[in-house]
Amino acid sequence: MPALASAKGKAQRINCINNLKQSGLAFRIWEGDNNDKLPMDVPMAKGGTKEFNTGADTFRHFQVMSNELSTPKILICPRTRALSPTILSV
């Protein structure tokens, strides 16, 4: 049983790394299509999210890159999801 748990943990870490890579690629693709500027450097009038650099609207940076993201699921690490009940109960 411990070997199985270890393998599951390793698979989750690999999945998290892949998700981070996909997020980074989405930023690079968006940047390439927008004069080498990230979403947070481009005003909303031009399709960016510059007005949302502060506050609780951070999700908007990813929202404008929806075409570059393969799925919204890559924004959540499976390991974090597995740990969240523990975090919430503390």
pLDDT (tens place) for every residue of the chain, 90 residues total: 677 777 888 888 888 888 899 999 999 999 999 999 999 999 999 999 999 988 788 889 989 998 888 888 888 877 665 555 444 333
Burial string for 57-71 (b: 16+ CB within 10 Å, else e) reads: eeebbbebbeebbee
- Collapse the DSSP code of 65 into the 3-class scheme (helix H, G, I; strand E, B; otherwise coil) and give the result: coil
Whole-angstrom Cα Rg for the chain? 17
Tokens of 74: 């890559």
pTM over 0.75: no
- Quick check: 27 and 38 in contact, CB under 8 A? yes
- The ranges assigned to domains in the chain are 2-89
Establish how many alpha carbons lie within 13 A of residue 74's alpha carbon, considering only the half-sphere containing its beta carbon: 18
